[in-house]
Chains A and B, each alone.
Chain A
Amino acid sequence: MRVSMDIELQDRPGQLLQALQPISDLKGNLISVVHHHEKEKNRRSKIPVQCVIDIDPEKLDELKSQLKDRGIGVAKVGEQRFVERGAVVLIGHIVHNDIQDTIDTVDRTGYAEVVDLTLSMPKIDQTSSAFLKIDAVGKEELNDSISLLKEVAKEKDLLVVEPIET
């Protein structure tokens, strides 16, 4: 299960490692960490950190209690929901330029995922076309993931056809 978790760290060195260790111990997979160090600290002078993890749902309670034992506050836990749906078309030598890596660019973010891909390869020496559906946790995240995709596509000489903003 993919879970988003808002935790609060003391403003001391080594705190982030303290927080992440139990995730690893419980065989969770850390997808993303956003460390809001630059943001104003909350009233209790703690630093908010948002992380997204893949973890066995049965181990979630254990994770929360381990974090508490280490003095780390758990402000919010929620199942990650993809509420924003988007799509892009890719044109170029998509498959020969490591299609898995292209998809991973989006999937690695933790806040967006390629959920569908339709590929059309007319002839071996011709450019392919693909239609990608991308789900994201929010509009901003969707746009961010498309921006990342565009960077990778540029390196691979792929054309990204983005949707207009509606």
Chain B
Amino acid sequence: MKTIRASISGFGAVGQGVAEVLLKKQDYLKNVGLDIKVIAISDSKGSEINTDGIDLSSALARKLEKGTVALEDKSSLEIIESVDHDLVIETTSTDINTGGIGLKNMLSAFNSGKDVVTSNKGPLALKYNELMEASRNSGSNFRFEATVGGAMPIINLIKDVLAGNDVISVEGILNGTCNYILTRMMEENAPYEQMLAESQELGIAETDPSYDVDGIDSACKLVILANSVFGMCFSYKDVDVTGITKITPESLLLAQNNGYVIKLIGEVKDDLIRVAPRLVPEDSPLAVGGTLNVASIQTDLSGTVTVTGRGAGSIETASAVLSDIVSIYRD
């Protein structure tokens, strides 16, 4: 049995999802020879630290009851710097302008030789090369499957399963919120504003939806894909982005009458990287509805491979974090 001492930085939806998944999958983890011992959890108000291992159930209950996991003041960065452990599970909320606390946490983790598994897109979309270099220099493992497509496997799929293939292009739906809004607009022949309101009510869209509907979230994911799969060095500011706010119900109907749906598609190939609403033939594998994500990977040897799955949700995203953790330490 290998014991991995881990901290969880950020205890929002994804962080809590990770705690739940670790609890739920204890037996599975034992079977693959892993004991993931969480020695610290932090959120914006403080942290809980227990070098013997935190009781995840009570941490989750306390978070639910009090709105914070904090028992002391130490921040995630202080924990990474001062508490001995192997793995930082970085699930703080994304900051697309500066990289935020997530970027500091990751760099500090590498600086002290810790491995990092993250769901936090911002730092990767801004400072991909810097982070990769820092992890290489310290010999740290760095995994980030959860940053793109939630539970839909794509980065590890391309890097591991499709290893040896040259990837010619990747295109797909990388944002479940936009997909939901466009799908519902078509189903109900309703305007954008109405279906945005519905998705906000259902918790699918944020109160400030611009990050999703303006295509920024898709652009960040596309940058991470482009950099990790194609070895490019894009920042999200390089992406040609058009969001979905101008799409009308009439345009969806006209498209439908001609055998198309309209989807917010991210596309990367050669030197082209863009996010825009596109006409997708109804019978295309990319024409998935609801909150689903989908990606078609065009390769030289395997032809086109298409994957689809749930792109968001705390447990779904946590599942991608778990799979990264297992793939680092299993052997």
Contact = CB atoms under 8 A, between A and B. Distances in A.
Chain A complexes with chain B = yes
Interface of A: 87-89, 91-92, 118, 120, 122, 126-131, 133, 159, 161-166
A129 B279 CA distance: 14
Contact of A91 (B246, B278, B281, B286): B246
Contact of B254 (A118, A164, A166): A118
Given A87-B279, A164-B279, A166-B284, A92 B246 contact: yes
A166 B259 CA distance: 14
Contacts, number: 70
Contact of B278 (A126, A129, A133, A163): A163
Contacts of B260: 87, 163
Interface in B277-297: 277-281, 284, 286
Contact of A159 (B171, B258, B267, B277): B277
A164 B280 contact: yes
B190 interface: no
7 pairs of A and B residues whose beta carbons are closest in the complex: A120-B250, A129-B251, A131-B254, A129-B250, A163-B279, A129-B248, A159-B246
B246 A88 contact: no
B255 interface: yes
B279 A128 contact: no
Contacts of B258: 87, 131, 133
B162 interface: no
7 contacts: A89-B279, A131-B257, A161-B277, A164-B279, A164-B281, A164-B284, A166-B281
A19 to B, nearest CB: 38
Contacts of A88: 279
A64 to B, nearest CB: 41
Interface residues of B, number: 24
B185 to A, nearest CB: 12
A89 B171 CA distance: 20
A127 B250 CA distance: 10
Contacts of B267: 164
A46 B280 CA distance: 45
Contacts of A120: 248, 250-251, 253-254
Contacts of B254: 89, 118, 120, 129-131
A43 B253 CA distance: 54
Contacts of B255: 89, 131, 161
B251 A91 contact: yes
A89 B252 CA distance: 9
A60 to B, nearest CB: 36
A140 to B, nearest CB: 16
Contacts of B281: 163-164, 166
Given A161-B279, A162-B276, A163-B279, A128 B284 contact: no
A120 B262 CA distance: 16
Contacts of B44: none
Nearest to A89: B251
Interface in B250-274: 250-251, 253-255, 257-258, 260, 262, 265, 267
B13 interface: no
A159 B242 contact: yes
Given A120-B253, A130-B254, A131-B254, A89 B262 contact: yes
